[in-house]
Amino acid sequence: AFDKSQAKDRVFEIVCAALLLRTILKKMTDYPLMSYRFGLHQVPRNEISNTSKSEYISDAILLSALAQEGQISVSSEVNQELEDIDSVEKSEQSSTAVTALSTTGPNFYIVYGVTESYRNLIEQQAALIFSNR
């Protein structure tokens, strides 16, 4: 869970960071395979000052459980921020498990990737990071 108080492209940057992490984890073939899923949700601006954001964090965790291994699941709110960005490849999903989410719904979205130019940049960054380990 994250706040959206930053730049307009903040959500896109976070999605790209998750895709970068996914790419790096796939390159780690000399380590035991690990299972991972990503769930992205955001805290509304008027809730940022609240000390307890546990409902939003719980929903981000539940969103990750709705994704398949290696996938990125995003809330309806995150998807709204991605609507104007044509560079994201995603699809709308539904599940009865979404009813357990208390701060989002009724649907969620799976982000499959980004357009080729961004994908190439992510691959280059992953190669650079991976070569420095």
Q: How far apart are CA 116 and CA 64, in angstroms?
A: 25
pLDDT of residue 115: 92
Give Cα separations from 99 to 33, 79, 93, 104 (angstroms): 32, 18, 13, 9
Structural domain of residue 10, as residue ranges? 2-131
- pLDDT: is 98 or 127 the higher one? 127
Question: How confident is residue 1, by pLDDT bands cut at 50, 70 and 90?
Answer: very low
pLDDT of residue 133: 67
What is the total count of domains within the chain? 1
The 10 Å Cβ neighbour count of residue 130 is 13
